[in-house]
Amino acid sequence: MGKIRILYVASEIAPFLQTSSVGSFTRQISEAMQERGMEIRILAPRFGTINERRNKLHEVVRLSGINISIGDDEKPLVIKVASIPNSKLQVYFIDNEDYFSRKAVFYDEQQNFFQDNDERAIFFCKGVLETVRKLGWSPNIIHCHDWMTSIIPLYIRSTYHHDPVFRNTKTIFSLYNTAFPHLFSANLIEKIKTNDITSEILEPLTSLDYEGFIKLGLKYADLSILSTCLHEQEDMKTRINAYAQIHNLNYLSLEQNENPAEVLYNLYHELQSVPVA
């Protein structure tokens, strides 16, 4: 058996961007798994707060140029790449002028949540999968970090299910303490729907909020993980637990005294050995 191939998809990764524990944890785990002999790829959004010159980002022309559909619109996909300092890891960045050129992440200067953050998430998730297809690199596991990546498990179960690149791919969805109170517009469902994705499949998103995205990831991932930063969020943990039990979903909670690298290393081996349904 060859190396296990892990694709990490995250809303941020240190040192390029870190607004929450997502950025540091994704880097930590990526490096730990590479040191343990796994083959790693990382994809993240190229938010405008990331300084391209300082971080030595450059466009990967052979991967750019795809148009990504968002509802009835199409947006061009640009791929950039940079190396993590003192590491052999590279990060591929999903970019688009309309969605990621602004010098902010999810909020403007007045702390207003961007109205198009849903479209940015959809574009990012589709862009990730199209980029991996172009790379021709088949991941055994896609480990998705934070709400912005929560659509990917659904896409792997539906639109990309029969794609040769993803035929044997499993998904993991990690939850963090990154909740927001914003309600998205009613056309969120229509923006995500495709010939393979119906309104019924998107039922978890009918609440049009953060929790809807979380439930979507929970429902369609092969395994979900509650990060240690959620231990103090009892209300959220209770709702997640209730939803998981109702739908008989597979999830676990990382404990404060556990070594996350060891836990995930073992989980990756266990999960990739289970046949795809």
For residue 232, the model assigns a pLDDT of 63
| Interatomic CA distance for residues 204 and 224, integer angstroms | 15
For residue 1, the model assigns a pLDDT of 53
The alpha carbon of residue 162 and the mean position of all alpha carbons in its chain are separated, in whole angstroms, by 20
For residue 79, the model assigns a pLDDT of 98
Check: CB of residue 139 under 8 Å from CB of residue 5: yes
Q: Is the peptide bond before 15 cis (omega within 30 degrees of 0)?
A: yes
Nearest in space to 128 (alpha carbons), one of 97, 95, 102: 95
For residue 113, the model assigns a pLDDT of 96
Check: CB of residue 38 under 8 Å from CB of residue 59: no
Q: What 3-state DSSP class applies to 92?
A: strand
Mark residue 257 as left, alpha or beta (left: phi above 0; alpha: psi -120 to 50; beta: remaining): alpha
Give the pLDDT of the chain (277 residues) as one tens digit per residue. 579 999 999 999 999 999 999 999 999 999 999 999 999 999 999 999 999 999 999 999 999 999 999 988 899 999 999 999 988 899 999 999 999 999 999 999 999 999 999 999 999 999 999 999 999 999 999 999 999 999 999 999 999 999 999 999 999 999 998 999 999 999 999 999 888 898 899 999 999 999 999 999 999 999 999 887 766 677 888 888 889 889 899 888 887 777 999 999 999 999 988 877 6
For residue 277, the model assigns a pLDDT of 65
For residue 46, the model assigns a pLDDT of 98
Within 10 Å of residue 15's Cβ, how many Cβ atoms? 15
For residue 196, the model assigns a pLDDT of 87
Q: Which residue has the tokens 């938010």?
A: 47
Q: What residue ranges define each of the domains in the chain, with the CATH number in brackets? A: 5-272 (3.40.50.2000)
pTM higher than 0.75 = yes
* Token duo for residue 120: 């940015």
The residues that bridge with 97 in the sheet, in sequence order, are: none
| Interatomic CA distance for residues 110 and 150, integer angstroms | 27
* Token duo for residue 188: 């969120």
